[in-house]
Chain A
Amino acid sequence: MTGTLRPVGVVGVGVAAPSLRLAQSEVAQAWSAGGGRAQVAVCDGDEDTLTLAWQAARRALDAAGVESAAVSGLWWGTTRPPFAEGPSHAFLAGALDLPSDVEGCLCAGSPHAGMEALVSAWDALAAGHAEVALVVASDALVPGIGTGGEVATGAGAGAVVLVALPGDSNGAGPPAQLVSRISRTMAVVDRTRGDDDPGTGDVYDPRLFREGVYLPMVAAAGEALGTQERWSVSDPDGKLAAAAAKRLGGTLVSAAAQGAVGDAGAAAALLGAGEALGAAGSLGVVGYGGGRVTALSVDVRRPVPGADGVGEALSGGQAVGYVGALKARRQLRPQTDPIPMGVPPGGAAFVRGNAEMLALQGARCAACGTVSTPPSIHPHCINCGGTDLEVVRLARRGRVQTFVVNQTMPPPFQAPLPLVVLDLDDGARLMVQGISADAGDLAVGDEMTLVLRRYALERGIPIYGYKAVRVGGASGTAGAAGSAAAGAETAPTR
C-alpha cells in the first residue's frame, strides 16, 4: 500500500449465526471415524448468506442508531451469494430498505471477500464519496460430503457501520476507528469450487497449506501491520489461527466465535472481531482466502455499540444430526418433482410483490390510521375505504393474535410450520410463517419479531420473506433460530 489512508469511524457492530449446530461427533459417526468435540453452524432450509447478512446488518444498524435511509452504501462480502449471478446485492439492499440510490458492491470469489468489502467501503468513505457505509460479511460454506470440511466449515455473518470522519477528528469521535491496513497476495490454489462443483474442496495437503501458504502470508501481513494487542484471524480449519497469533504476539480473540460456528469463511475475520470491539485497545483483523490476505488495525477507544450482543447472538442454536444437516444444505433431497408456485418469479405479480415484501411495507390511511398490507393489493383502506394512503415501513415486533401449526403441506414447505396472525406494535396486522422451533408451545399473546428468511427455491430462484420468531423462544435468541430440517425428520408425510 502506498499513500496516506484517512481513518474512518466504526459506530455499530452486529453478528448473526444460523439456526443449526452440527457436532463433529455426528459427522464422525456417519463415517465411522473418530471425532472431537467441535461443532459447526449450519443454515436451516430457510436460511442462507442473504438472510444471515440481513440479520447481522439489521443488528449493526440498530446498535448504531442509524436509519436505513441514512446509509449511502452497502458493501457485502460472501463466497456464496444467493444468486451466483443475479440481484443478490439488490435483494439485500431491498430487504434492509436502503435508499434506491445506494452505492457499494458485492465482493465474492473467495473467503477474502469479507475483507474486500470492508476495505472497499473504507476507500469510499475516505475518498469522501460516502458518508455512512454498511459493511456485511456473511458465509454459509457447503463442504463436500465426506471431506474434512464437514467438521470445519460453518456459517455466520458480521456487519459494521462505518462513518466518514470530519477533517479535525480530535473531539470525542467515534468509539473506534479503522486506522491502517496491509494486503499480501500469492498465486496459490488452496480452496476452490468450480462452476460445476456443489461443494467447496481443499486442493493442498494440510501441511503444505499451513507451512507453505497460510502461516507465511498471515505472518507477513500481520507483521507489516505492526503490533496489536488482540487479533481476529480467519481460520480455514480451526487450528491455524492460534499458530498465527503466536507468531504475531497478542491475544487471539476470534477463537470463541470460531468455536461457536466453525469457519465462517468470508465472515470469519469480522465475526471473530465482533466481541473485541467492546473493549478498548488495538485490534488486528486478518482475513485470508484465495491467495490473498488483508490485515487491518482497529483502534477501539470505547465499546462499539452492538459488541455486547455478539456473545448472545452466537450462542444457542439447535442441534442437528448429520442427515438433518445434509437436508438443510440441500445435499440430500427427495426424488420427487417439486410442485411450482402459483406465481412464478418471472411474472409481473411477483415483481410487484417482491419489493414491498422485502421492504415490509404497508399503506397507512390518512383518514383513519388503519394500515392495509401489502399496498399493491389495497388501493382502498380496508377499514374506511379511504384512498389517501401513505406507504409506511411496518414494525418488526408484535404479538400473536391467533395461529396454527400446519403439519400437512406440499413441498417446498416443511412441517411443522406455524402460521401466525401478528398484531404489530404499530397497529398493523400481518399473517406470516413462523419457524418450526417455536411450533411446540406457541400461544396467543406471545411476543414475536420478524426476521428475513428464504421461503423457497422456486425454479432455482431464492424467494425471500419475513417469518415470525418468538422473542426468547425455544430457539434461543430470536433471529438466530429455527429448525425446519430437524422437524421434518419426524413430521408425518401424507
Chain B
Amino acid sequence: MSWNKVAVVGAGLIKMGELFDQSYEQMAAGAYRAALASVDTGTPAIDAAIVATQRGSLWGQEGIGGNTVPSALGLSGIPCTRVENACPSGSDAFRIGAMVVASGVHDVVLVIGVEKMRDKSTQEGLLARAAAGHPLYNRGETAPVLFAPFATRHMHEFGTTPEMLASVAVKNHHNGCLDPYAHFRNEVTVEQVLSSPMVCSPLRLLDCCPQTDGAAAVIVTSAERAHEFTDKPVYVAGFGVATDHPYLHEKSTYVGLPATTLASRRAYDMAGVAPDDIDMAEVHDCFTITEILDIEDLGFVEKGKGGPASLEGETALDGRIPVNPSGGLLAKGHPIGATGLAQITECFWQLREEAGERQVAIRNGVALQHNVGGRGSGVSVVNILTRNA
C-alpha cells in the first residue's frame, strides 16, 4: 500500500543550458513561476520553501542556508532551508519537503533546486572535485574518475562494451531532442560517441553529462488538500535514502552502487511496489555507465545485463522499461541541485500523460526517480510517484 500522504500539484523547470545571461536568482524565479503556472486551479499560498543547491557560494553568500531565495521569489518572510546532499540534493529536498508536509507543520511547501554550474570556469569546477577529499589520498579525482572505475570493472566482469555504453548516450540524446527543456537537442550516433575524445578512460566525451545551469521547482501539499489545486495530483508513493562509504577504495563492489540498491529497496517497500510495476524511470545518468549500473541496482534488469539491455532498446521510450525519457543528465543536463526536481517534474508530466512526443505508455501509474552521488557514490535517493490515489 502506497504511502500517498503528500501530493505534487505543480511542477516546472526552465530551459537548461549555459545560462550566462541569467543570475542564480533569475533561474530560481523562472522555475518557481513555471511550477506555479502548472497548477490547474487557484494559486497555492506557499508556507515554506526548501532549496536544493549543491555549491552554495559562487562569489559570496548567495544560496548559503537557503535564506536568500524567498526574497528572489517575492516570498520574503517564509521559512526556507537549504538541503545539500551531493548530486541527490534535489531529490533529497523533495523527500524532506514531503515529510515536512506529512508532519502537518506546513501545508504547502515549495521545493526548488537551483544550480549555477557555468559561472565558474570548467577548470575551477573540475578542480573543486580533483582537490576534494583527503588532502593527500584521492588526488586527481575529477568527476569522471568517480564512475569510470566501475566501467572498467563492469567491462572486465561482464563483457560490457563501449558500444553498450554508447547506446545509453544515443538513446538519451534522442529523448532530449523531444524535450524542449533539454540542454542538448541533437541526435548522436554510436560512432560519434565512440570517436569523441577520451575524457577518462573508458569514458569518452559523449559518455559524460555536460555542465549545465538550471532550476526546477515542485509544489507539494497534503493528499487531502491536493484536489483544491488539481484533478490530477501525483502522489508520493514512497522514498528511500541510503549511504555508502564515501571513498572509492572503500567500495565493496566495483560493478554496482550498493547505496542505490538499498535506497530502492526501502522505497519499493514503502510504496508497496516492485520494479516490474514501474512504468518509467528518471535515473542518474551522469555518465553512460551510471545508467547501466542504475537499471541493475534498481532491479529493472539482472546484475551484469545492463549493457545488453541498453543496446537492445529495453530502456527506450517504447521499451519494456523506458528510462530517462527527458533526455536524462546526458542530454537534459545536470544542474546538480535542480536535477532531482527536474526529474520529478518529468515523472509528474509522464504520469499525467502531458509529456507530448516523448510520452511513454502508463500502465500501472507508477514512476521512479533516482539520484546517486557524493565522492564515491556515497549517497543514493529514490522517490516513487504514483497517480493512483
Task: Report which A residues bind B (CB closer than 8 A).
Answer: 339, 341-343, 347, 349-350, 352-354, 357, 372-374, 377, 382, 401-411, 413, 417, 419, 421-422, 429-433, 444, 455-456, 463, 465, 492, 494
Contact = CB atoms under 8 A, between A and B. Distances in A.
B105 interface: no
A383 B124 CA distance: 35
Nearest to B197: A492
Contact of B140 (A372, A403, A406): A406
- Looking at A406, A413, A444, which has the most chain B CB atoms within 10 Å of its CB? A406
B interface, over-half SS: mixed
Contacts of B132: 342
- Looking at B135, B144, B149, which has the most chain A CB atoms within 10 Å of its CB? B135
A408 B136 contact: no
A411 B136 CA distance: 16
B200 A407 contact: yes
Interface bracket on B: 35 or more
Contacts of B140: 406, 409, 413, 417, 419, 433
Interface of B: 122-124, 126-128, 130-132, 134-142, 144-145, 148-150, 152-153, 156, 197-203, 245, 247-251, 254
Nearest to A413: B140
A377 B122 CA distance: 29
- Sort A-B residue pairs by CB-CB distance and give the 10 closest, nearest first: A342-B131, A343-B135, A404-B148, A357-B136, A410-B123, A431-B249, A402-B153, A353-B135, A405-B201, A402-B149
B341 to A, nearest CB: 28
Given A404-B148, A431-B249, A349 B201 contact: no
A377 B131 contact: no
Given A374-B134, A408-B200, 5 more contacts: A342-B135, A357-B136, A404-B201, A409-B130, A429-B250
A116 B248 CA distance: 45
A402 B126 CA distance: 22
Nearest to A343: B135
Contacts of A455: 136, 139
Contacts of B135: 341-343, 347, 349-350, 352-354, 357
A411 B131 CA distance: 11
Nearest to B124: A339
A456 B140 CA distance: 11
Contacts of A465: 136-137, 139
Contacts of B141: 419, 431
B248 A431 contact: yes
A114 to B, nearest CB: 29
A430 B138 CA distance: 9
Nearest to B249: A431
A465 B134 CA distance: 12
B248 A421 contact: yes
Nearest to B150: A402
Contacts of B249: 373, 421-422, 429-431
